[in-house]
Amino acid sequence: MTTLLVLLNIAILLLVISGLYVMQKKHVSFSKRVFAALGIGIIFGLILQFVYDPKSEIIKTSMDWFGLVGTSYIRFLQMIVMPLIFVSILAAFTKMKLAKNLGKISLLIIGMLIATTVISAAVGIGTTITFNLEAIQIEQGDAELSRGDSLTNAYSSNLEGKTLPNQILELLPRNPFLDFTGARATSTIAVVIFAVFLGIGYLGVSRKEPEQAEMFKKIMDSVYAIVMRVVTLILRLTPYGVLAIMTRTVATSDLNAIYNLGKFVIASYVALAIVFIIHLLILMGVGLNPITYMKKAFPVLAFAFTSRTSAGALPMNIATQKKLGVSDGIANFAGSFGLSIGQNGCAGVYPAMLAVIIAPTVGINPLDPGFLAMLLAIVAISSFGVAGVGGGATFAALLVLSALDLPIALAGLLISVEPLIDMGRTALNVSGSMTAGLVTSKVTGEIDTDIYNNPEQQIEIQA
């Protein structure tokens, strides 16, 4: 009987996938297909929730098969991330797009990422205080206690002794071939730095040995074209990946825990929504239409929301920035640095909220100006090197809590609703990096406003 029910669930998923494919063949817009997949995934997941026990063997086996679609899509995206970063930045150098303004562009992007992260932390603090959230309001069960112990052990083995100079050194490439595998939390930035050095080297060679430089340029342009074609092929799978990921997330969520911790979930999403509105206000402040941004950014934000991976969303992030008139180099710098520096949701809102929630348990007044100033400073510093994959928010929270001498075991308090909150955090991370790219492009005068304002310039992946 179990096998038949599993086969039925798989058959329904395949039927919906077929429907999405028909929509693609009828040239329904990419955004509409992603939105349809998102909605159907939620509905299908809720049906599975109420028909079966989320912990049942039927759900477990069904989700394993669903993972063939959802997880495969995420892995395809992760597969292309490092090559995409590397060749795109190098191609930008070969086209002389960053030769004159490289330092200014880098500082602007990093500055925007850090500034918006500090703002995000301030919003998180304000929201937590407004909702009167405290750690003592959360009942610690076996899952929370187990999570707390694992975090303590992880900190003791991996994070202890990481001073600010050590964190800065971790950003630098030591073995670029190792970093191409994504082996370190800061591998993405290391690959960016390596590509920048090669780009600067290319500029030097182009002045002294133009023939050699021209050969290198042709090779990189060819590699870039091939990599971007692979990106396009992968992006075509987005609606199917979103469908499977969303269904799995909803079907396996603990609805009772979400209900009991509803106040914390609501407060988190209020904070995330406020920061997103701030992104829109920043864009408006530099003369860009925020409505246009929302329309064009929806596909990548929807994917980031459902997949919970900023790194996996990078190809769509870069493609979306280009459709918003951002140049290749700036789009890649903003997207790449945004994976490990200044993640507004994971490194800004979440650690700040958690610190304010936990502070009263050790007798600290979270409203004390000194504590708040220290918290914002630590959030800014610790936002360097936060991985753009699952667990980045936890890593950031551990750094902040340990720096403030707060019990890191309490970082596991929200384990039951972590996936639900993490969806919004990841979408905000991506929005923050795109905002940094757009503002930098506008300030440096490198944005193409005709492309930005053209409604037809949108991610449209058709067969």
Cα 343 to chain centroid distance, Å, stands at 7
Give pLDDT tens digits for 169-224.
777 788 888 888 777 766 777 887 888 888 888 888 888 888 888 898 888 888 88
Question: What is the CATH class of 2-453?
Answer: mainly alpha
* Domain residue limits, the chain: 2-453
Q: Which residue has the higher pLDDT, 120 or 246?
A: 120
Which long-range contacts (C-beta less than 8 Å, at least 24 apart) are formed by 286-294?
286/438, 286/439, 286/442, 286/443, 287/442, 288/438, 288/442, 288/452, 289/452, 289/453, 292/324, 292/452, 292/453, 292/455, 293/324, 293/434, 293/438
Neighbouring-strand partners of residue 384? 341
Mean local confidence (pLDDT), 44-64: 85
Q: Decide if pLDDT at 416 tops 80.
A: no
pLDDT for the residue 314: 81
pLDDT for the residue 188: 74
Give pLDDT tens digits for 274-291.
999 999 999 999 999 999
Mean local confidence (pLDDT), 35-46: 88
Cα three-residue angle 74-180-92, rounded to 5 degrees: 90
Give pLDDT tens digits for 344-385.
988 889 889 888 888 888 888 888 888 899 999 888 877 776
Q: Decide if pLDDT at 387 tops 70.
A: no
